[in-house]
Structure 1
Amino acid sequence: MTRLSTPSRPRRSLASRIPLFDQVRSSIGLQRGMLVAGVVITLAFVLVAILAPVLAPFGFSQLRSSGETFGAQQPPSSSHLLGTTVGGYDVLSRVLWGAQTALLTIIVSVLLSIFVGIALGLISGYLGGWLDRVLVVVCDAVYAFPSLLLAIVMSIVISGGKSDLAGGILAASISITVVFIPQYFRVIRAETVRIKSEAYVESAKVIGTRAPRIIVRHVLRNATRSLPLLLTLNSSEALLTLAGLGFLGFGIEPSAAAEWGYDLNKALSDVTSGIWWTALFPGLAIVLAVLGITLVGESLNDLADPRLRGRRAAVDSGAPSADDDAVPHGAGASGDPLIDSNEEARP
């Protein structure tokens, strides 16, 4: 008696295991260009943040070198490639070290938001009842509150508006977390309400599986599939919130860490005096970092559209998609019949 062998699942290639590799392959045209550009800018931002101690010519709070002070508002030169600030700091060093502060704040705030938002969303969506109604009302009230104003209030409550590196990052992260929790809560709760009525969840209830095991084993795995998209979009918003707190004077002390929003605040008076380098480069760093993360998030959002997947499948199969212009079969772009490649062109 022969034993039937089940076909083994094909192993994924090493390249397909790279994050965003499958998304780049499934994108087409302008969408692929936007995604690739976003990935390149975001990777550059992350690498600069990681390698800031190596790339920065000076420390973020260093005011002198070889016994000589840098001087305030010095224009770009060979000694200071991007000039110096009104406080006498090197602009290039502040920009590079600011990337590290921004990355740390994004990581801490997004992780805190994910853990708290997912936990509340799973409990609220699965259990329901009065607890669900209370959590929904509270999260809707927080979500309707102006995010930057709420972050300012939380920053004042936590650290009095100013702090050192660790305290400042934690205060800014918690401030941003309070704003982001309702977003994760609403997404996870909606998915949990939908998933808990599925057949496999009902089957688990019938055989006596406890609620915590069902939530962790069945609901959590399927309710978090849309989180990568929300994570990228919230990362750019976290960076803007951090810059806003620093610009308004509720950020991190300049002697504790470099922060782009604080540098922009101190450069306001320089702009009217014709000193452009103190404000241009921190502002450009904010724009590029937010642009790269936003391009990745928006591209992932578009790739989740089934119409784009249909166009990609049509391109791969060689069949014309519904969005393509109607071109007669066997005709070129100008409408003339195409010459068969096996025949010689006759004069």
Structure 2
Amino acid sequence: MSTTESTPVAAPAPKRRLRDRIPVVHQLRQSVGLQRGMLITGLVVTAIFILTAIFAPLLAPYGFAQLRDADGPFGSQQPPSAEHPFGTTVGGYDVLSRTIWGAQTAILVIIIAVILSIFAGVLLGLLSGYFGGWLDRLLVVVCDAIYAFPSLLLAIVMAIAISGGQSNLWGGVLAAALSITVVFIPQYFRVIRAETVRIKAEAFVESAKVLGASNSRIMFRHVLRNATRTLPLIFTLNSSEAILTLAGLGFLGFGIEPTAAAEWGYDLNKALSDVTSGIWWTALYPGLAIVLVVLGITLVGESLNDLADPRLRGRRRVAQSAGVVAETSVVPGGTLTAGPGGLAGLEDEATFDEHGIEVKP
């Protein structure tokens, strides 16, 4: 009886769709269980915060510094009502409007502070880690000194030095953003420098040097793209820290004036005396906004951090794990498949009938 031989064919590698290449979407599809719930919750809260900041002029019933409408002044410390759902502050501002407008101020500070600190920290870390020498020692000492300094105290000093008594919107936002930038630069510097020191010793960097590539080409084309993989994680965690630093500056009186922009920390500072008098609405909503936004961004950052570390990832379902193991065979030519006789049938080249019984030639 003749035997039929079949050549195993390797299954083609599945192509990644465009949506799977988006970082957050890829991690969302990768997460399971509680980890997925944390990531979805953080994304929803963060999306609400961003949309509120973008559409603040449409969502807020009044301006952030508005004290009256067609019916007259709002009144000071008015309880929640139909006209003012969150009540009014001691200065006569609408709490709901200032809470919504505060999201816009917070996101402006986050964008300016984090982007500036990323550019400065990444560039300094890349130069320091690649060239080394006296430049590396000097930058490490300076950044370690800044990093060891209390961040809020450093932000206060920088805010006083930068603002120069300015109380307008962009003067206050830039003062807060630049003060936070100085605090964040050492974090990006240390991460990028450590990755650059590791990557520049790899074989592909040595090959690029042998081929005559310039230092700038090696740094920005080969080293940089491999050293910035953890930046999205640091970006999310630093965004929440920027909100807390901005709120701390405003709470201590170094933030933005109420006539220039709405700021949650400033509103909390003015609501301290209200809490002892039983007026709870002036402090509840700005404080709740800070807590929810920081919680949402932190959940996104911690979830991305867990998914980036294989040791911290949640286990896959048993069925999915079994499928992955079956598809990752090391047998040349594709997945190893055995006939009814098992591996012995493959080794002995025996033939079997439809019931799995060996047929002697």
Q: TM-score range by the shorter chain?
A: 0.7 to 0.9
Alignment of 1:1-347 (within 5 A): 11-160=15-164, 162-309=166-313, 311-312=315-316, 316-318=320-322
Supply the RMSD in Å over aligned alpha carbons.
1.9
1:129, 1:45 → 2: CA distance?
45
Alignment CA distance shift 1:208-1:14 (3 Å): closer
- Could you tell me which runs of 5 or more consecutive residues in structure 1 were left unpaired when the two chains were aligned: 1-6, 322-347
Q: 1:229·1:297 contact (CA, 8 Å) conserved in 2?
A: yes
Moved over 6 A (4+): none
Amino acid at match of 2:125: G
Alignment CA distance shift 1:314-1:171 (3 Å): farther
Instruction: Give SS of 1:75's match.
Output: coil
CA shift, 1:289, in A, is 0.3
Would you say how many aligned residue pairs link Structure 1 and Structure 2? Answer: 315
CA shift, 1:320, in A, is 12
Q: Deviations over 1:169-192 (max 9, x none)?
A: 111110000000000000000000
Amino acid at match of 1:189: R
2:55, 2:12 → 1: CA distance?
43
Alignment CA distance shift 1:28-1:308 (3 Å): farther
CA shift, 1:307, in A, is 2.7
2:171, 2:44 → 1: CA distance?
31
Q: 1:162·1:250 contact (CA, 8 Å) conserved in 2?
A: no
1:163, 1:204 → 2: CA distance?
52
Percent same amino acid at aligned positions? Answer: 74
Structure 1 length as normaliser, TM-score?
A: 0.87
2:34, 2:280 → 1: CA distance?
34
Q: Deviations over 1:283-314 (max 9, x none)?
A: 00000000000000011111122134472375
Amino acid at match of 1:49: A
CA shift, 1:13, in A, is 2.5
Alignment CA distance shift 1:140-1:161 (3 Å): farther
2:309, 2:228 → 1: CA distance?
17
Amino acid at match of 1:106: I
Q: 2:109·2:173 contact (CA, 8 Å) conserved in 1?
A: yes
> 1:341 maps to which residue?
none
1:228, 1:50 → 2: CA distance?
22
Q: Deviations over 1:135-174 (max 9, x none)?
A: 0000000000000000000000001365211111111110
Structure of greater Rg: 2
Instruction: Give SS of 1:122's match.
Output: helix
CA shift, 1:29, in A, is 1.1
Structure 2 length as normaliser, TM-score?
A: 0.84
Q: 1:35·1:295 contact (CA, 8 Å) conserved in 2?
A: yes
2:261, 2:49 → 1: CA distance?
17
CA shift, 1:317, in A, is 2.1
CA shift, 1:206, in A, is 1.0
Alignment CA distance shift 1:315-1:242 (3 Å): farther
CA shift, 1:208, in A, is 1.4
